[in-house]
Amino acid sequence: MVATRSEPVDEHALVDEGLSRLRSILGEQWSVEPLRYGDAKPMSRPDFGADLVISVSAPHRGSTSGPILIEGKWSLTPAGVRTLLPRLALMQSLTGDATALVISRWLSSQTRALLDENGIGYLDLTGNVSFRLDRPGVVIRLQGSDRAPSPELRPSRSLRGEKAGALVRALVDHAPPFRATQLAEMTGLSLPYVSRLLETMTQEALIERHGRTIRHVDWPRLLRARASVVQLVSAGPVLAVAPQGPAALLNRLLRRGHIQGEPRSPLLAVTGPALAERVSPLTGDISPLILYLGGRGVPSASHLGIDDFMAENAVIPVTGSGATTNVWIFKDPPSYVFKGLRTDYGFPAVALSQCALDCLSGPGRMQSQGEAVLDAMIRTETQWRRPAAELP
């Protein structure tokens, strides 16, 4: 079933297709049927408030579920979920806490997470399914596509790219209320770009606005959303080996003053596992040691080249896909990665928001370290988040 922007959306056909998929998943011995008023028509809007109400029966057991409220949505954003929640809650209260199931063409990871948080099942036509019944016992969890099946359902502006990264950092690091004009001035981005991306964030329920004023930022979800569309390694770090290990290199940098801001040193900041383990110890492993060196628009970046830096600190560059590395150096990154530089861990480090982003978008256990940083940020939000009054 394919629809274009010019074609009308038939959500009844969408529901029928979704229920057909559910029957296939459960198997032919299971019964998935509309509830009816005796021999009359199926229960549905406007009679009942839902697109359809069904029940599920297990094979050979005589066990039948209570009402399952079906809500068909051709497309559904996180903001749409928040609008849907009160109505579903009312319908559930009228039916003895019935199960709810959203059927859609495609649901983004952010939308699915919000539905999960609120105990609402979902099924989309790309194969993402979360459905649970206590009686009869049913638990279905399937992974489908993380990408919209056609361009018209994709956000007009994604969270990819350096400009989006700068705006995300500003929204996370400063507590609202504030306006798009303030964010544009602070980040150096054009007001039209900021406004368009804020509209996308509003649709994804990452921010809440009253008129032109941003009143709330769901910053943990915003950081996860940004990390889900970028990969740390795609920024092209210089890969290297510190023969005595990353901890020894970090200590060497401290002793030699490179991390303490000597006049001839480039701007240098620590991110990734070494910082995450200081913020919220999890594994004790700080490899790879990840450094930001220099920075676009930072004059000191030209004072010491990366080759000289590695030579002075006994760091060996590595080439080849199968080589083992324990040091990653990002040369001349966007200037926003140095905003909010901290020195309270014994070495200059990026802001917690940047560390969380770097870990969450990194490989393997770094993602768990990123979640640990996020947990620490939630507990200490009033300590690291600057008031909006400090914005221009």
Predicted confidence at residue 40, as pLDDT, reads: 41
Q: Where is pLDDT greater, at 202 or 28?
A: 202
Instruction: Choose the most confident range, by mean pLDDT, from 18-22, 278-282, 350-354.
Output: 350-354
- Residue 282 and residue 242 in contact, taking contact as beta carbons nearer than 8 Å: no
The rounded percent of the chain whose pLDDT value lies above 70 is: 82
Predicted confidence at residue 183, as pLDDT, reads: 94
Predicted confidence at residue 182, as pLDDT, reads: 93
Q: Where is pLDDT greater, at 309 or 170?
A: 170
> For the whole prediction, is pTM greater than 0.85?
no
Structural domains for the chain? 11-151 (3.40.1350.10), 155-230 (1.10.10.10), 232-388 (no CATH)
Predicted confidence at residue 37, as pLDDT, reads: 47
The region of weakest confidence among 167-171, 364-368, 373-377 is 364-368
Ramachandran area for residue 161 (φ above 0: left; ψ -120 to 50: alpha; else beta): left
Predicted confidence at residue 49, as pLDDT, reads: 59
The rounded percent of the chain whose pLDDT value lies above 90 is: 38
How many Cβ atoms from other residues are within 10 Å of residue 316's Cβ? 12
Predicted confidence at residue 110, as pLDDT, reads: 84
How many Cβ atoms from other residues are within 10 Å of residue 224's Cβ? 21
User: Which has the closest alpha carbon to 52: 62, 61, 42, 60?
Assistant: 42
- Residue 330 and residue 298 in contact, taking contact as beta carbons nearer than 8 Å: no
- Burial bucket for residue 154 (CB in 10 Å: 0-12, 13-18, 19+): middle
Q: Where is pLDDT greater, at 61 or 274?
A: 274
Bridge partners of residue 124, in order along the sequence: 104
Predicted confidence at residue 271, as pLDDT, reads: 96
Predicted confidence at residue 97, as pLDDT, reads: 67
Query: Could you report the per-residue pLDDT of 57-69, keeping only the tens digit for each?
Result: 888 666 888 889 9
CA distance 188 to 174: 16
Written as six digits, the tokens of 274 are: 């070494």
Asked if pLDDT for residue 123 goes beyond 50, the answer is yes
Stretch 306-318: mean pLDDT: 85
Predicted confidence at residue 383, as pLDDT, reads: 93
288 cis-preceded (ω within 30 degrees of 0):
yes
| CA 92 to each of CA 48, 70, 101: distance values in angstroms, whole numbers, following the listed order | 11, 11, 11
Predicted confidence at residue 328, as pLDDT, reads: 92
Predicted confidence at residue 76, as pLDDT, reads: 86
Asked if pLDDT for residue 313 goes beyond 50, the answer is yes
From the centroid of its chain, how far is CA 176?
20
Bridge partners of residue 292, in order along the sequence: 269, 330
Query: Could you report the per-residue pLDDT of 5-51, keeping only the tens digit for each?
Result: 333 446 778 898 899 899 989 988 888 988 754 444 444 443 445 78
Ramachandran area for residue 295 (φ above 0: left; ψ -120 to 50: alpha; else beta): left
Average pLDDT, the chain: 82
CA distance 11 to 139: 25
Asked if pLDDT for residue 358 goes beyond 80, the answer is yes
Amino acid sitting at position 359: C
Interstrand relation of 52-57 and 68-75 (parallel, antiparallel or unpaired): antiparallel
Model confidence at 109, pLDDT cuts 50, 70, 90, reads confident
Predicted confidence at residue 348, as pLDDT, reads: 84
Written as six digits, the tokens of 243 are: 């023969």
Predicted confidence at residue 3, as pLDDT, reads: 37
Bridge partners of residue 130, in order along the sequence: 122, 141
Question: HEC string of the chain?
Answer: CCCCCCCCCCHHHHHHHHHHHHHHHHCCCCEEEECECCCCCECCCCCCCCCEEEEEECCCCCCECCCEEEEEEEECCHHHHHHHHHHHHHHHHHCCCCEEEEEEEECCHHHHHHHHHCCCEEEECCCCEEEEECCCCEEEEECCCCCCCCHHHCCCCCCCCHHHHHHHHHHHHEECCEEHHHHHHHHCCCHHHHHHHHHHHHHCCCEEEECCEEEEECHHHHHHHHHHCCCHHHHCCEEEECCCCHHHHHHHHHHHCCCCCCCCCCCEEEECHHHHHHHCCCCCCCCCEEEEECCCCCHHHHCCCHHHHHHHCCCEECCCCCCCCCEEEEECCCHHHHCCCECCCCCCECCHHHHHHHHHCCCCCHHHHHHHHHHHHHHCHHHHCEEHHHCC
